[in-house]
Structure 1
């Protein structure tokens, strides 16, 4: 996945899960605006052109091995932002994420997007995307007009600081924004 953008966001714990039940998680994976992506500079994703699978893996640190799997979730977009509703697995990676969040450690999330169509904007150019107007800064901006969402990762530091992940106490917490 060398051609995959990774966009990052905050994680926050709401509550624990009952014994033996999977820990539910809700991730605001992409807030819809501009991010700084290492090696790419300023980047935005057009959510209207993003292909999302029915379910996708939630990984730790973009570790695409079975040891890096923390859970899975269902991506959802309202045209302004991208969320993931899912659960953490009872794997070492999933248990580590839940433990860190319960201990109050601020974590972030990152989406792995494989771009299929991009557009380069020059400094000062504006474009309407995800229900807002975005202006390219001095270095310009890469707009991912179309792409495939491959995974969402949990990690300590991310590019999109306007997002968050919450562990939910009940399934109804997962359905509140539908």
Structure 2
């Protein structure tokens, strides 16, 4: 969001008004889970481990909280977690597997792909497709955009409408994609950065 605010303020109608999965989880933890566990949200600490350093800034935004309580309290990068485990002498690869604790019951297949690059977009696309067609979207064929590494696009027919989507990995690729959109050289129904 900060990237859009500072670099592409003329395109602020593009970002989704939904919170990111990180912030959605934090909000649910501090409301639903807090109530379920009978814990005051001020007495909970939500820690997020993310590959993107921008998530640290995102979690600190004042509007991403409720009544003065931030949705996410601490964001660690995956590198910081790896360093912490190494310093503690923990060999992650030798840890025994454990079952997912399912704090909110079953999850959908779409939840599994949230963490992958483009996962939120694909999950939203699959959900819309399945709601509208009552069928399963088998595969989304993403292709590199004109040979640019890090930007992929796909067109999916959803109930008779071709929906064009794109995924940009990293802010450098996001800049390239948004400059194409700004110049009128590309048009998408949905993008993920």
TM-score of the two chains, using structure 1 as the length reference? 0.26
Q: Which has the higher contact order (CA 8 A, sep 6+)?
A: 1
More helix by share: 2
More strand by share: 1
Structure number with greater Rg is 2
